[in-house]
C-alpha cells in the first residue's frame, strides 16, 4: 500500500520532482535504523513485545502521514515514512522467529511460508489504495488513515501469539566476534544474494509508478502493475522452500539472479503497459528466490548463541544498501530516464552471480534446508 501511494503523494508534495521517491527511501532508512535496536529489544523483552512495539509505530506512522497529506507538509510526510520503516524493521524478524523454532528439515519452508503472507498484501494493499485514494479530501488522506487500522489489526494478532522466549544456548560453544561470523563465505554469499536482490528490486519498484506516469500510463495502471509485482514477490513462497529442499539453496538463488536479469531485458525493450507488468512480475519472483534463499543460507552461518547479532547485522547491511538504491532511484529517473534505472543494476547482478557461483564451485552440491 505504501509503495503504491507514496511515490505519487511524494510527487505532489515534494518541492522538486527528483525528490518524489524520497519518502520510499525514508521508509527503508527507518527499517535499517530499527533493525539493530529491534534485535536487542526482542533479545531482552521477547519477540511478542517487539512485534507489538513495531505495530504501534505503524499506527503512529498512519496518523503522521494523514496529517502530512492534510496540511501539505513534505517534511512531516518524510517523518511518517520513517515511522513506516520502523514498523517494517520489527516485522523483518517474523521470518527469523519462524526459523528459530523450526526443525532443520522444515526451516526453509517455515521461512517461505511466513514470507508468503505477502500474498495478502499484494491483493489488499493496492485494493485499499484504489478504494481510499479519493474517498476523502485531499487525495490519499483516507489511505493513510487505513494504515492506522492495519496497525491495530496487527496488534490484535500479536497480543494473542504464544512465542517461545529467545534463549541463548550455551551448549553450542562460545559466541564468536561479529566480524568472524560475517567474513565466512557462507555468510557473505547469503548477504550478497539477499542484499543485491532486495536493492535491485527496490530501486526499480520505487521508480516504477512515477516512470509509468511519465510514459503516459495512469495511476490505475501503475497500481495494477505494483499488485502483480507484489504477487510475484510472495506467491512463489508457497513452493520456494520445497525448491530449496529439492535443488539446493544456491541453485534457487542463481535462478533468482537470472529472473532479475530477464526483467532488465524486458524493461529495456519498451515502455508499454505489458512491458511494465511482465517485467515487474519477474522482478518480484527473482527477489523471492534471492530473499528466501539468502535467509535460508544465512541460518547456516551462526550458532544459536550468535543468532541475534548475526541476523541484525545481515538485515542492517542489507537495508542500508537498499536505502541507497531507493535514494538514487528518483534522481536516476529524473536525470537519465527509465532505461538508466534498469541499466545501473546490472553490475550488482554480476556481483551476486559471482558470489553464488564461487560458493557452488567451492562447496559442490548442497542439500536444501
For 96, list phi and psi in degrees, rounded to 5: -70, -35
Closest CA to 279 of 332, 217, 205, 347: 205
Distance of CA 133 to the CA centre of its chain: 24
The whole-angstrom separation of Cα 331 and Cα 341 is 9
Q: From the CA atom positions of the chain, what is the Rg in Å?
A: 20
The answer, yes or no, to whether residue 330 has pLDDT greater than 80, is no
**Count of beta carbons in the 10 Å neighbourhood of residue 240:** 27
pLDDT digits (tens, 9 = 90+) for 207-235: 887 788 887 777 778 878 888 888 898 88
- Of 58-62, 194-198, 288-292, 364-368, the range with the highest mean pLDDT is 58-62
Where do the structural domains in the chain lie, given as residue ranges?
Answer: 2-162+178-363
Return the pLDDT at 166. 60
Give CA–CA dist 38/312, Å, rounded.
8
Indicate whether this model's pTM tops 0.85: no
The pLDDT of residue 172 is above 60 = no
Task: Provide the 8-state DSSP code for 159.
Answer: T
For range 9-14, the mean pLDDT? 83
Residue 369 has pLDDT above 50, yes or no: no
According to CATH, the topology of domain 2-162+178-363 is Growth Hormone; Chain: A; (1.20.1250)
> CA angle 109-114-118, nearest 5°?
125
Residue 152 banded pLDDT, cuts 50, 70, 90: very high
Amino acid at each position: 500500500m505504501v509503495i503504491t501511494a507514496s511515490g505519487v503523494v511524494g510527487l505532489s508534495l515534494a518541492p522538486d520532482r527528483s525528490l518524489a521517491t524520497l519518502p520510499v527511501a525514508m521508509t527503508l532508512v527507518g527499517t535499517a535504523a530499527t533493525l539493530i535496536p529491534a534485535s536487542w529489544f526482542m533479545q531482552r523483552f521477547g519477540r511478542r513485545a517487539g512485534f507489538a512495539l513495531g505495530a504501534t509505530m505503524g499506527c503512529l506512522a498512519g496518523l503522521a502521514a494523514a496529517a502530512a497529506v492534510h496540511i501539505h507538509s513534505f517534511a512531516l510526510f518524510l517523518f511518517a515514512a520513517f515511522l513506516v520503516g520502523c514498523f517494517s524493521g520489527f516485522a523483518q524478524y517474523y521470518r527469523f522467529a519462524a526459523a528459530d523454532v523450526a526443525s532443520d528439515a522444515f526451516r526453509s519452508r517455515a521461512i517461505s511460508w511466513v514470507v508468503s503472507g505477502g500474498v495478502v498484501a499484494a491483493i489488499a494493499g493496492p485494493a485499499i489504495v484504489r478504494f481510499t485514494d479519493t474517498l476523502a479530501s485531499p487525495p490519499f488522506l483516507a489511505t493513510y488513515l487505513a494504515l492506522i487500522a492495519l496497525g491495530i489489526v496487527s496488534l490484535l494478532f500479536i497480543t494473542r501469539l504464544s512465542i517461545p522466549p529467545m534463549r541463548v544456548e550455551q551448549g553450542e560453544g562460545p559466541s564468536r566476534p561479529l566480524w568472524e561470523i560475517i567474513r565466512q563465505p557462507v555468510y557473505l554469499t547469503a548477504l550478497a544474494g539477499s542484499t543485491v536482490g532486495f536493492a535491485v528490486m527496490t530501486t526499480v519498484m520505487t521508480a516504477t509508478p512515477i516512470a509509468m506516469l511519465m510514459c503516459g500510463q495512469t495511476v490505475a495502471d501503475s497500481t495494477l502493475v505494483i499488485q502483480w509485482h507484489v504477487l510475484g514477490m510472495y506467491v512463489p513462497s508457497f513452493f520456494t522452500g520445497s525448491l530449496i529442499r529439492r535443488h539446493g539453496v544456491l541453485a534457487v538463488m542463481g535462478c533468482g539472479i537470472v529472473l532479475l536479469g530477464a526483467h532488465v531485458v524486458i524493461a529495456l525493450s519498451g515502455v508499454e503497459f505489458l512491458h511494465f507488468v511482465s517485467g515487474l512480475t519477474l522482478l518480484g519472483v527473482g527477489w523471492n528466490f534471492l530473499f528466501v534463499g539468502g535467509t535460508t543460507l544465512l541460518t547456516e552461518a551462526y550458532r544459536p548463541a550468535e543468532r541475534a547479532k548475526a541476523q541484525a547485522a545481515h538485515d542492517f547491511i542489507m537495508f542500508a544498501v537498499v536505502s541507497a538504491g531507493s535514494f538514487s532511484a528518483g534522481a536516476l529517473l529524473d536525470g537519465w530516464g527509465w532505461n538508466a534505472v534498469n541499466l545501473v543494476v546490472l553490475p550488482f547482478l554480476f556481483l551476486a552471480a559471482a558470489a553464488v557461483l564461487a560458493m557452488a564451485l567451492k562447496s559442490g552440491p548442497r542439500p536444501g534446508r
